[in-house]
Amino acid sequence: MSATDPRLTQLLGAEPPAGIAALSEADQARVVDLIAGARKKQSRDLAESFEAALKHVPFPIRGLVKKTLLG
Amino acid sequence: MSGNATAELQKLAHQVGVDATDLGFLTSVPADDLRALRGQIGEALFQADKHYFAKVAGLSKNIPAPIAAKVTEFALPPLIAARVAELLEPNKAVDLVGRISGSYLAKVAAAMDPGRAPHIIEKIPPDKVALVGAELAKQGEWVVIGGFVSTVTNDGLHASVGVFTGEQLLRIGFVLDDTSRLADIAEMLTDKQVDEILVAAGEHDLWPELSELASNLTDAEATRLATQLAAAPDAVREAVRSAAASGALSAADSARLGLT
């Protein structure tokens, strides 16, 4: 039985379920890639969504709204 | 692999945005562990960008609902609306839901994690639930609908079940988060829908889906399914018998369908 991939614990913020922890090293790495990919996709989709939403804000105050929302 | 594990892989694939066939390496993982992993991933995805949504939700508190609804539908992409909705105060969220179109709401629903907003979903009027359910069914969003079934009220579920075809009901039933609701759904079915379910199982090769349904029915509803099958056209009965003979339906399923 392989050890739990530390990247899984880090990405999930918790120990993975036993059935996932019992996967081979290579298969745990595939799960890591899936989760990391989903996070990247969400961040990309959100960035695109915010940009699309900001197009509806009048140009003079767009920067201010962007700073308020995105920091 | 069990039907439960197959359904869990479909839900996991939907969550991480890949095809279920890409998750073949997880077929040895028990269904309960796949479900737990999905819950952990959902939480991790939500926490990763929560700070953005919290700011938008905070802003919306000070905007009257009629204006917020118009601005939301006009300017806010569904993904952001979904995440923000999960953070809104329930009454404010329900007020907004009542003011935006069914098609936009369906897009928001497709991006939502219903388990994160049960306090909102349970307050959505039944007619709106049915409207959104029909839109999602048109788009083939079975996993999304299956997730919502756990949290909608009985009235909302009843209204939704009424708009689905037998084929849609089979596909939704297979990916329910809460399979105990299959029995509730079965009680709401018309005889026509039961007939459609039996026809759809054969026409679309939905035997795992029919098996999931049969194994979760009450004895009374199983008897009803068997009675409808006995009265079905020859081709339908023959298709079910063939599925049972080939092992696509288990011996227990066959018994519940009155074949043995």
Report yes or no on B96 lying in a domain: no
In chain B, what residues touch A40 (CB-CB under 8 Å)?
A: none
Residue B83 with chain A: CB contacts under 8 Å = 46
Count up the domains in chain B and report the number.
1
Answer whether residue B214 is part of any domain: yes
Provide mean pLDDT across the span B197-214: 95
CA-based angle B86:B91:B97, to the nearest 5? 65
Q: What 3 state SS string does chain A have?
A: CCCCCHHHHHHHCCCCCHHHHCCCHHHHHHHHHHHHHHHHHHHHHHHHHHHHHHCCCCHHHHHHHHHHHHC
pLDDT, tens only, B113-172: 888 888 888 888 999 999 999 999 999 999 999 999 989 999 999 999 999 999 999 999
Q: Report the chain B residue with the minimal C-alpha distance to residue A18.
A: B33
Task: Domain of residue A20: give its range.
Answer: 6-70
- Pick the residue with more confidence: A70 or A49? A49
Contact B158, B174 (CB under 8 A): no
Task: Assess if residue B194 is contained within a domain.
Answer: yes
- The residue segments making up the domain with residue B192 are 188-260
Q: Which residues of B touch A34 (CB under 8 A)?
A: 16, 18, 23
Tell me the pLDDT tens digit for each residue of A10-38. 999 999 999 999 999 999 999 999 999 99
Q: Residues near B251 by Cβ (< 8 Å), separated by ≥ 6?
A: B260
Q: Is A31 inside a domain boundary?
A: yes
Q: Which two tokens stand for residue B87?
A: 């953070």
Is A36 inside a domain boundary? Answer: yes
In a domain, A39, yes or no: yes
Does the structure show a pLDDT above 70 at B104? yes
Structural domain includes residue B200 = yes
Q: How many domains does chain A have?
A: 1
Q: Is the ipTM of this complex over 0.90?
A: no
Closest CA to B162 of B130, B137, B132, B125: B130
The whole-angstrom separation of Cα B178 and Cα B166 is 19
Kindly determine whether residue B55 and residue A12, on different chains, have CB atoms separated by under 8 Å: no
Question: What count of CB pairs under 8 Å joins A to B?
Answer: 91
The whole-angstrom distance between A60's CA and the closest CA on chain B is 17
| Chain A residues lying within 8 Å of B30, measured CB to CB | 19
In a domain, A1, yes or no: no
Dist. CA B161–CA B234, nearest whole Å? 27
At B73 the pLDDT is 85
